[in-house]
Amino acid sequence: MAEMTDVFFVDGMRTPFGRAGEKGMYWNTRADDLVVKAIIGLMERNGDVPKDRIDDVAIAATSQTGDQGLTLGRTAAILAGLPMTVPGLAVERMCAGAMTSVTTMGASIGVGMYDLALAGGVEHMGRHPIGGNVDPNPRFVAEKLVDPGALNMGVTAERIHDRFPHLTKERADRFGAASQHKVQAAYEAGKIQPDLVPVAVKDADGAWGLATEDEGRRPETTVEGLATLKTPFRPHGRVTAGTSSPLTDGATISLLAGADAVKEFGLTPKMRMVSFAFAGVEPEIMGIGPIPSTEKALKKAGLTIDDIGLFELNEAFAIQVISLLDHFGIADDDPRVNPWGGAIAVGHPLAASGVRLMIQLAAQFAERPDVRYGLTAMCVGLGQGGSVIWENPFFDGKKKRK
């Protein structure tokens, strides 16, 4: 009989993230090919895992249409060369798609139904703009269930500023600039590149090249420069392009395993799943969603926020991250938070981003045996939050040397 088991994040990889639109490096690349490339890269790096032992493949996409449709987990598995015996499914929870892929596959492993699974996400926002092919039920507006502005993520970010006036534009600008600088420092130190899968790309003239780095970075960003940017979501507002994640294309994938599979194949897990939670909030201020989901995840784990030694928080907007930090009494510039920067710099390809957070946390765990627990958390469109708490298998109980 199947038994409950620990769930491990064995490994994760992603494509470089590209700017969405005609000038972006993936304009002539299909969305499903991005996730296929990520799967191939991950399986090649984990060659001791038999492909026919993968129990399921969960791939998320927010816009499940065109080259992001047709049950992505199954089609991507076939295209990536996994055996026809490996099933797959598609997942949709807007920004938390890949995170939900991981928690869904992780839960299946945890109850003993699966041994190994792949979980990730993809978003080609150039081909499929958010909300570009949807038809919201008119009851949402007619019955005033949701304010029409709730479907505009930038408007919801402005409303966090409204609700919490002490979370100022100046604080958001500082956070946005810091994200750019931290990502650049991580690149210069070679922290991010090992988990990127190079992707062959074709430009408008038909010339081939190789995508090896995140395209949208702006390391020259200054706080003074951000102060002069326009506020596109509201006249005289506080949210700018410099404190928002850019529209982005990219794919992520992770390999999850149960304890028996780890032992059978001699794997070295990078993280152990401790708990996860999702929560709902008013769609009009969706950015505060990770606050209740994190509280739920901490309670399920029997931990407090003080137990978390590293935070990977998705920077959909600077104000969204700052609101969570403020709630838990954490400084905007706390070194535990997004030490290698975040989505403001590298981009946020919606359904793919959750696994990017996990990939970065896993890499940091390997460098930080003094840290036992880490958190990956993100806000979710239409008023949700998602949080996953992880344990560092390299934790040695020793305090970090100064």
Per-residue pLDDT tens digits for 5-59: 999 999 999 999 999 999 999 999 999 999 999 999 999 999 999 999 999 999 9
Residue carrying the six token digits 């081909």: 127
Quick one: tokens of 316? 């959909």
SS3 63: coil
The pLDDT value given to residue 306:
98
pLDDT beneath 70: ranges in the chain: 400-402
- Active-site residue identified among 124, 128, 161, 348: 348
Going by the DSSP 8-state scheme, the letter that residue 380 receives in this structure is: E
Strand partners for 7: 258
Residue 348 catalytic? Answer: yes
pLDDT digits 0-9 by tens, 337-355? 999 999 999 999 999 999 9
- In angstroms, the CA 237 to CA 133 distance is 28
Residue carrying the six token digits 């104000």: 319
Residue 95 catalytic? Answer: yes
pTM over 0.75: yes
Residue type, 261: A
What backbone phi and psi angles, to 5 degrees, belong to 366? -60, -30
The pLDDT value given to residue 154:
93
Helices (H), 329-401: 343-346, 353-367
- In angstroms, the CA 60 to CA 102 distance is 10
- Active-site residue identified among 124, 128, 161, 379: 379
Residue 236 catalytic? Answer: no
- In angstroms, the CA 281 to CA 241 distance is 25
- Active-site residue identified among 95, 124, 128, 161: 95
The pLDDT value given to residue 401:
56
Residue carrying the six token digits 């239409």: 382
H/E element holding 179?
helix 169-188
